[in-house]
Amino acid sequence: MTNNDTLRRLRYALNINDAQVAKMVAHTGKPTSQAQAESWLKREDEQGFLEISDAMLCRFLDGLIIEKRGARPDGSIPEPLEFLSNNEVLKKLRIAFELRDDDMNAIFELADFVVTKAELGSFFRKEGHRNYRKCPEQVLRKFILGLSKKAGNSSAAL
């Protein structure tokens, strides 16, 4: 799944428009136009398609956190990650929606997907930890699908 696919799926799951995507990126101090957001959300074969970098997807997710939870108490904005793994995307979504393990499992259940507590915990470990496990694309896709069902947006199934 490309970064553009991830952004597109999140946009539908959260039921937000292109202007809101641009606004979330702007929360991180990087002014973004609605036109730029539109080009990220186009399909690869559409004219005007623009690939979104890991850093910009990270800015979107950080902006989502700011949108949902508010800015940090000290007012600082996190630096975007150069490389964004599925584990990091899942972690940032967990932070944005203030989800605990039980909440996340409930979201996976909405997508008819089972993730054990140990497996879920392994996705949030630091890379290099003996219990760390890379988050497969299927897990991230199912989580986003579950988010869309929780939000009542069934068109996000993609």
Its domain, for residue 117, covers 86-157
Residue 140 maps to a domain = yes
Q: Phi, psi at residue 56, to the nearest 5°?
A: -75, -35
Q: State how many domains the chain has.
A: 2
Q: Are residues 30 and 90 in the same domain?
A: no
One digit per residue, pLDDT tens: the chain, 158 residues? 899 999 999 999 999 999 999 999 999 999 999 999 999 999 999 999 999 999 999 999 999 999 999 988 898 888 999 999 999 999 999 999 999 999 999 999 999 999 999 999 999 999 999 999 999 999 999 999 999 998 875 444 43
Give the distance from CA 119 to its chain's centroid: 19
CA–CA distance, 82 with 97 (Å, rounded to integer): 23
Residue 77 maps to a domain = no
pLDDT at 94: 97
